[in-house]
A and B are shown apart, each in its own frame.
Chain A
C-alpha cells in the first residue's frame, strides 16, 4: 500500500516514541508490536522495518510474528471495528448468520474494510460473554444477542448513512425500542 508523505513521518515518529521506552531485547517484540498497532491501528511495513532496526533483527522475523498472531492487522482498519464472535456458543446460536448479515450490508468480506474506511469486519474466537450469544464487539463495546435485525440497528447507530434499506431502517426505528436503548447503553460504557 502506498503511504502518503505525512503518514510516513507519523509512522516513523510514533514507532520512535514507543521503542524509546523499551530495551532492545527480543522479548520486547510482542509488546512493541501491540503498542504500535494500538497507536496506528495496524502494522504498516515501514513500522515493521523500524521495529526490526530497533531490535537488530531481520524484518522477516517481525513480519513472521505479525502474521502468526491473530491480533495483528497489516491493513488499516475502519473507523468502527466490528468483530463477530465465532466461538462455540455464538456459532451455535447464529454467529455465522450475524457475520453473513454484516457482509451483506457492508458489501465486504470478513477481514476487509469498506472502501470509505468506515467499517472493518473481523472474526474473533470468544470474548468470554458466551451467555449473551451471539456476540459482536464494536469498538470494544460488547453487544449481545445480535440477530440480523439487530445488525441493521447497529449499523444505523454507528453510521446511519443509507447502508440499511429504508424498510428495515424504519422497522428498526419504529419497532425495536429496547434494542435502541441497549445501543445507547452500549455507547455510555465508553466512560467506564
Chain B
C-alpha cells in the first residue's frame, strides 16, 4: 500500500527543465531510505504551469512544489516524505502577495480555471490506460455504443459544442452531414497539426491524456458510421506521437479499438500520420491531400469533406480539443455541458498564454471570461511591472486586442466581431516594448512563407503587404502606405481560396485599426515608439555616466563595445546587433538608445 504519491510533470516543457533528472534522483533517494513501497512516483502529463517546471506534487496532502532540481530531492524526501514537514522554500511564491502557497488550488493561475478537458492532464499517467479508466474513461464510449448513432449525433448537437480548431463550426452539425452521407466507407480524421506558432494545447492534451482523444474519435466513428480514423500529428511533437501510439496499443489490448468493440458489433481502426511541417496542412482539405500523399494544397469547398473527403469518401474532420470534449458530453450529458459557457459558445476553451505575463502556460477557462481575467488573474499581470499593451489572439489568423478591449468576453462571436479570431487559442501578451508594426510584419512573414501558392490573392497579396511592412519597419515608409495595406488586406481577405489567405490580413488590419499611431510614428517620424525596430534604433554610451566598469563589454555577444578599463566605452555601430544586453546590464544607466 502506498502512503504517498508524487506527481512529477513529464510534459515536453518540464522535461527540458530537468524533470527526468528529478525522477532519477527521487528513485535513488527512495531506494536509499528503503521507501520504494511507500511512495509511488507518477510521471504525469502537462499541468500547464510550464513556466515553473519541473513541478513536484505530493498527494494526498496536495502540496505543490515548483522549480525543483535534482539537488532539492534529498531534502524533499527527508523533510516532507519522511518527517512530514513542508519544505517552505520550494513552494510557489505568489508574486502579488509575496506569500508562499501550499496547494495549487490557492494559486490564482489554477483557481480561476475550469479544467474539464484538462481534468486528467497532470493527474494521471498518460501511458497507463487503467488510470484513465479509473477516472471514468471510456464510459462515454460505452454509453454511445448502447445508443442509436443518430441519437449520439443529436446529443453532441444539443450540447452546443463548436469546433476548437479555429472556425468554431457546430460539431453536431458536421457529424450530421457525415452521418447523412451515404457510403459504405467513411473516415474520421483528427486534426493534430497545430500549426499556430505559439500554441500548444493540442500537444499537451495528446501528451497528457491521449485516451480522451481516442475515445472522442471512437465516439465520432460510431456516430457517423465510420470504421477507420487517421490522426494527423505534427512531426515536431515526437513525445505526443509516442504517447498516442502507446495509447492505441493499450486500447487495442483492452478491446476498445479493433473488432466488435465492447461486444457491440462496432469495428474501428486508428492510424497515425505524421505531418511534415507545413502550416497550410492544418486546413482541412490540404490535410486530406497530405494524407493521400500529395502536396498539402487546399481545394475549393463545396464539396465539403463530410460529403467528399479522404479518397473521395465522406470524412468527418475535427480538432484534438474538440474530440477531447466529446467523451465528457456523452458521459455527463448535453445539458451538463451546455451549462458552462455563454449563449453562443458552450463549454471551455484552452488557451496557451505566453509572452510578457508573469505566469505563462496552459489554461482552460469557461467561455465568456474576459481578457482581463486571463491576463491579470491567471497570467498574474505583466512582467517587471511594465504596462499592458495588447494581446494577440488566434495566431497568424487572429488579431491584436488593445487595452480598451480588456473587458471583452472571450468567445467565438465576440472575438470575430472585434476583428480577431478564436483560432486555435494562442494568446500572446504584449507590453509597451513590443512594436505592433513589427508584430504584424512577423505574422505576415509567417503566412507569406507558408502560403502554398495555389491562389493569386494570397500568393501575391501577402508578398506585397510584407514588402510594405518591411519598408515601414526599416524607416522607409511613405505616405499612403497605411491605405495601401488596408486595400490589399481587404482584397486578400475577400478573394483567397482557403482560410489561410482569408485570415492572413487580420494581424495587419487589427494593428492598423487599434495602433495606427505606431504606424504613423514609423512612417512620418522615422521612429519606433516601442524601441524594437533595429533600423530605427541606435544604442550609445553616455560618456559622462560611464565608469568604464567593463560590464557591458563582457556581456556584449557581438563584441561591439570597446574601451579601456576605467575609461568611457563606445559602441561600434557596425557591429551592434541592438540586442539590448548592455542596456540591461549597466548599473549606471549609461547605455542609452535614440
Contacts and interface: CB of A to CB of B under 8 A. Distances in A.
B partners with A: yes
A144 B214 CA distance: 31
A152 B290 CA distance: 39
A58 B197 CA distance: 34
B354 A131 contact: yes
Interface stretch (B30-38, B119-127, B270-278, B508-516): B270-278
A6 interface: no
Interface string A50-91: 000000000000001100111110000000000000111101
A71 B17 contact: no
A149 interface: yes
A124 B236 contact: yes
A192 B276 CA distance: 24
B458 to A, nearest CB: 15
A45 interface: no
B18 A182 contact: yes
Interface stretch (B160-168, B355-363, B538-546): B355-363
A152 B361 CA distance: 28
A166 B204 CA distance: 41
A64 B238 CA distance: 25
Given A89-B198, A148-B557, A143 B276 contact: no
Contact of B361 (A26, A131, A167): A131
B442 interface: yes
Contact of B293 (A30, A97, A149, A189): A30
A72 B21 contact: no
A87 B20 contact: no
Given A89-B428, A144-B16, A185-B21, A69 B197 contact: no
Given A28-B293, A192-B20, A126 B274 contact: no
Given A152-B557, A188-B20, A129 B428 contact: no
B426 interface: yes
A130 to B, nearest CB: 4
B276 A70 contact: yes
B527 to A, nearest CB: 20
A125 B17 contact: no
A30 B290 contact: yes
Contacts of A165: 559
Contacts of B296: 68-69
A147 B197 contact: no
A64 B555 CA distance: 45
Contacts of B20: 188-189, 191-192
Interface residues of A, number: 59
Contacts of A182: 17-18
B434 interface: yes
Contacts, number: 162
A151 B15 contact: no
Interface in B150-183: none
B13 A101 contact: no
A116 interface: no
A128 B234 CA distance: 11
Given A88-B354, A92-B355, A97 B199 contact: no
A161 to B, nearest CB: 19
A148 B579 contact: yes
B196 interface: yes
Interface string A113-152: 0000000000011111111110000001111100111011
Interface in B262-286: 273-274, 276-279
A39 to B, nearest CB: 15
Contacts of B237: 128
A104 interface: yes
Interface string B174-206: 000000000000000000001111111001100
Nearest to A170: B554
A160 interface: no
A94 B15 contact: no
Interface in B556-582: 557-559, 577, 579, 581
User: In which size bucket is the chain B interface?
Assistant: 35 or more
Nearest to A135: B16
A126 B12 CA distance: 12
Contacts of B293: 25-30, 65
A140 B276 contact: no
Interface string A157-178: 0000000010110010000000
Contact of A100 (B13, B200, B355, B577): B577
B292 interface: yes
B277 A70 contact: yes
A151 B577 CA distance: 15
A30 B288 CA distance: 13
B16 A131 contact: no
A147 B203 CA distance: 26
A180 interface: no
B365 interface: no
A109 interface: no
Most chain-B CB neighbours within 10 Å: which of A28, A29, A126, A186? A126
A130 B360 contact: yes
Interface string B386-415: 000000100100000000000000000000
A126 B17 contact: no
B235 interface: yes
Interface in B294-341: 294-296
Given A26-B292, A142-B12, A92 B559 contact: no
A131 B51 contact: yes
A13 to B, nearest CB: 24
B100 to A, nearest CB: 21
B81 interface: no
Contacts of B195: 125
B378 interface: no
A104 B290 CA distance: 37
A143 B15 CA distance: 10
B12 A129 contact: yes
B352 interface: yes
Given A140-B238, A149-B557, A182-B18, A129 B278 contact: no
26 contacts: A26-B294, A30-B293, A65-B295, A68-B295, A69-B276, A69-B296, A88-B354, A89-B198, A89-B428, A93-B356, A94-B579, A101-B577, A124-B236, A126-B200, A128-B237, A130-B198, A130-B352, A131-B360, A132-B13, A148-B579, A151-B557, A185-B70, A189-B16, A189-B20, A191-B20, A192-B20
Given A68-B452, A89-B198, 14 more contacts: A30-B290, A68-B295, A69-B295, A86-B197, A88-B426, A100-B577, A127-B12, A127-B236, A130-B198, A130-B200, A133-B354, A142-B15, A151-B557, A168-B557
